[in-house]
């Protein structure tokens, strides 16, 4: 059964995932989950993979995404999709805000 959800903006709810990296689940439904990430300059999101498709948008800052050993310079307004089970990482070049959708829902991101 589908249910509507509206989440109001808040500065609360961020979870530290590594030094200089935070995430906040904004809202989720049956098939997708929307997350905001705050990344601090000079930090790295280590190489990893997961079964979820990941679609992202850089709101502000500058990052480098490494997907399947290819490096992409990402600037505000750029977007991407990373298929499930594909190795990827990120280098944080400037303080950045990233918004990403995961499908299916990442159960480990549900607060």
Does residue 8 belong to any structural domain of this protein? no
Does residue 7 belong to any structural domain of this protein? no
What is the pLDDT, as a whole number, of residue 3? 78
Does residue 3 belong to any structural domain of this protein? no
Sign for the pseudo-dihedral over CA of 81, 10, 24, 75? positive
Does residue 33 belong to any structural domain of this protein? yes
Domain residues for the domain of 21 are 17-109
Give the count of domains, the chain.
1
**CATH number of residue 62's parent domain:** 2.60.120.10
Does residue 82 belong to any structural domain of this protein? yes
Mean pLDDT (whole number) for 15-25: 96
Does residue 86 belong to any structural domain of this protein? yes
- E-strand ranges in the chain read 15-18, 21-28, 33-39, 44-48, 53-67, 70-74, 79-82, 88-103
Does residue 27 belong to any structural domain of this protein? yes
Does residue 39 belong to any structural domain of this protein? yes
What is the pLDDT, as a whole number, of residue 111? 86
Q: Is it the case that residue 23 has pLDDT exceeding 90?
A: yes
Global pTM value:
0.92
Q: Is it the case that residue 1 has pLDDT exceeding 60?
A: no
Helical segments of the chain, H only: none
């Amino acid at each position: 059964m589908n249910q509507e959800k509206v989440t109001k903006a808040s500065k609360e709810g961020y979870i530290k995932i590594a030094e200089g990296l935070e995430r906040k689940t904004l809202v989720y439904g049956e098939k997708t989950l929307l997350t905001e990430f705050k990344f601090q300059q000079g930090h790295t999101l280590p190489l990893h993979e997961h079964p979820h498709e990941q679609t992202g948008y850089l709101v502000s800052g500058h990052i480098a995404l490494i997907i399947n050993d290819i490096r992409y310079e990402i600037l505000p307004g750029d977007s991407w999709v990373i298929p499930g089970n594909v190795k990827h990482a990120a280098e944080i070049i400037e303080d950045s805000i990233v918004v990403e959708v995961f499908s299916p829902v990442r159960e480990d991101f549900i607060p």
